[in-house]
Amino acid sequence: MKILLIFVIIVFTNNFFAQKTFSSKSVLGHELGTEFSTHAQVVDYFEELNRAFPNNSKLEIYGETNEGRTLQLMFIGNENTIKNLEQIRNKHLNSSINENIPIVWLSYNVHGNESSGTEAAMETALILLRDKKEWLDDVLIIIDPCLNPDGRDRYVNFFKQYSTLSKNSNVRSIEHQEPWPGGRFNHYLFDLNRDWAWLTQVESQQRIKKYNQWMPHVHVDVHEQGINENYYFPPAAEPYHEIITDWQRKFQEYIGENHTKYFDANNWLYFSKEIFDLLYPSYGDTYPMYNGAIGMTYEQAGSGRAGISVVIANGDTLTLRSRVAHHVTASLSTVEVAYSHKEQLISEFQTFNNDFPYAYQSYVLSGDSFKMNSLLRLLALHDIKVGKPKEGSLIKGWSYTSHEKTTYKVKSNDIVVSVDQLKGPMVKVLFEPQTFLSDSLTYDITAWSLPYAFGLNAFACESRVPNESELSVPNDYLVSSLPMNSKDAFAYVCKWESMESARFLERLLRSNVNVKFAKKSFQLDGNLYEPGSLVIARGENSEINIDSLLIQASAGLELQINTCLTGSVEKGNDFGSSSYREIQSPKIGFLAGEGLSPLNTGETWHYLEQRLKTPFLMLRPNDIQDFGISDRDVLMVPEGSLSAEISAEILSWVKNGGRLVLFGESVENFLNQLSIELTEQSNEFHEMSERDELSEMITGAIFNCEIDKKHSLSFGYDSYHTLRQSASRYRLKSGTSVFELPKNTKQVSGFVGSRVKNDQGGALIAGQEQYGKGSVTYFIDNPLFRGFWSNGLLMVANAIYFAND
Q: What are the tens digits of pLDDT across the range 521-552?
A: 999 999 999 999 999 999 999 999 999 999 99
Give residues with Cβ within 8 angstroms of 652, minimum separation 6: none
The confidence score (pLDDT) of residue 9 equals: 44
Is the pLDDT at 471 greater than 90, yes or no? no
User: Is the Cβ–Cβ distance between 768 and 738 less than 8 Å?
Assistant: yes
Distance between CA atoms of 408 and 365, rounded to whole angstroms? 11
What are the distances in angstroms from CA 657 to CA 395, 721, 770, 773?
52, 31, 10, 4
Task: List the Cα angle 166/167/172 in 5-degree steps.
Answer: 115
The alpha carbon of residue 347 and the mean position of all alpha carbons in its chain are separated, in whole angstroms, by: 32
The confidence score (pLDDT) of residue 475 equals: 45
- pLDDT tens string 725-740: 999 999 999 999 999 9
The confidence score (pLDDT) of residue 6 equals: 46
Q: What share of the chain is helix, strand, coil (3-state, %, to 5)?
A: 35, 20, 45
> Which helix (H) or strand (E) covers residue 252, if one does?
helix 246-265
* Through-space distance between the first and last CA atoms of the chain, rounded to whole angstroms: 87
- What is the arithmetic mean of pLDDT over 161-169? 89
What are the distances in angstroms from CA 668 to CA 639, 700, 803?
9, 21, 21
User: Is the Cβ–Cβ distance between 753 and 695 less than 8 Å?
Assistant: yes
Is the pLDDT at 684 greater than 60, yes or no? no
Averaged confidence pLDDT in the chain = 93
- Banded pLDDT at 481 (limits 50, 70, 90): low
Cis peptide before 181 (omega within 30 of 0): yes
The confidence score (pLDDT) of residue 687 equals: 63
Distance between CA atoms of 364 and 350, rounded to whole angstroms? 28
Is the pLDDT at 237 greater than 90, yes or no? yes
User: Is the Cβ–Cβ distance between 203 and 110 less than 8 Å?
Assistant: no
- pLDDT tens string 378-415: 999 999 999 999 999 999 999 999 999 999 999 999 99
Closest among 498, 469, 220, 235 to 336, alpha carbons compared: 220
Is the pLDDT at 804 greater than 70, yes or no? no
Distance between CA atoms of 631 and 586, rounded to whole angstroms? 10
- pLDDT tens string 658-678: 999 999 999 999 999 999 999
Distance between CA atoms of 722 and 502, rounded to whole angstroms? 21
pTM of the predicted protein model: 0.95
User: Is the Cβ–Cβ distance between 228 and 313 less than 8 Å?
Assistant: yes
Which of these ranges, 8-22, 327-341, 419-433, 636-650, has the smallest mean pLDDT? 8-22
- Banded pLDDT at 14 (limits 50, 70, 90): low
624 by Cβ neighbours in 10 Å (0-12 / 13-18 / 19+) ranks as: buried
In 168-225, the DSSP E strands lie at 218-225
Distance between CA atoms of 338 and 747, rounded to whole angstroms? 42
Evaluated on CA atoms 106, 109, 114, 116, the torsion sign reads: positive
648 by Cβ neighbours in 10 Å (0-12 / 13-18 / 19+) ranks as: middle
- What is the arithmetic mean of pLDDT over 642-655? 97
The confidence score (pLDDT) of residue 692 equals: 76
Distance between CA atoms of 564 and 491, rounded to whole angstroms? 5
DSSP 583: P
Share of the chain above pLDDT 70, in %: 94
Closest among 532, 553, 529 to 541, alpha carbons compared: 553
The confidence score (pLDDT) of residue 582 equals: 97
Which of these ranges, 139-148, 343-352, 474-483, 489-498, has the smallest mean pLDDT? 474-483
Give the number of other Cβ atoms within 10 Å of residue 423's Cβ: 22
Distance between CA atoms of 719 and 708, rounded to whole angstroms? 10
Is the pLDDT at 29 greater than 90, yes or no? yes
The confidence score (pLDDT) of residue 571 equals: 96
The confidence score (pLDDT) of residue 12 equals: 46
Distance between CA atoms of 384 and 472, rounded to whole angstroms? 11
- Banded pLDDT at 13 (limits 50, 70, 90): very low
User: Is the Cβ–Cβ distance between 447 and 723 less than 8 Å?
Assistant: yes
Give residues with Cβ within 8 angstroms of 233, minimum separation 6: 255, 256, 259, 270, 272, 296, 298, 299, 330
Distance between CA atoms of 754 and 348, rounded to whole angstroms? 39
Distance between CA atoms of 588 and 751, rounded to whole angstroms? 36
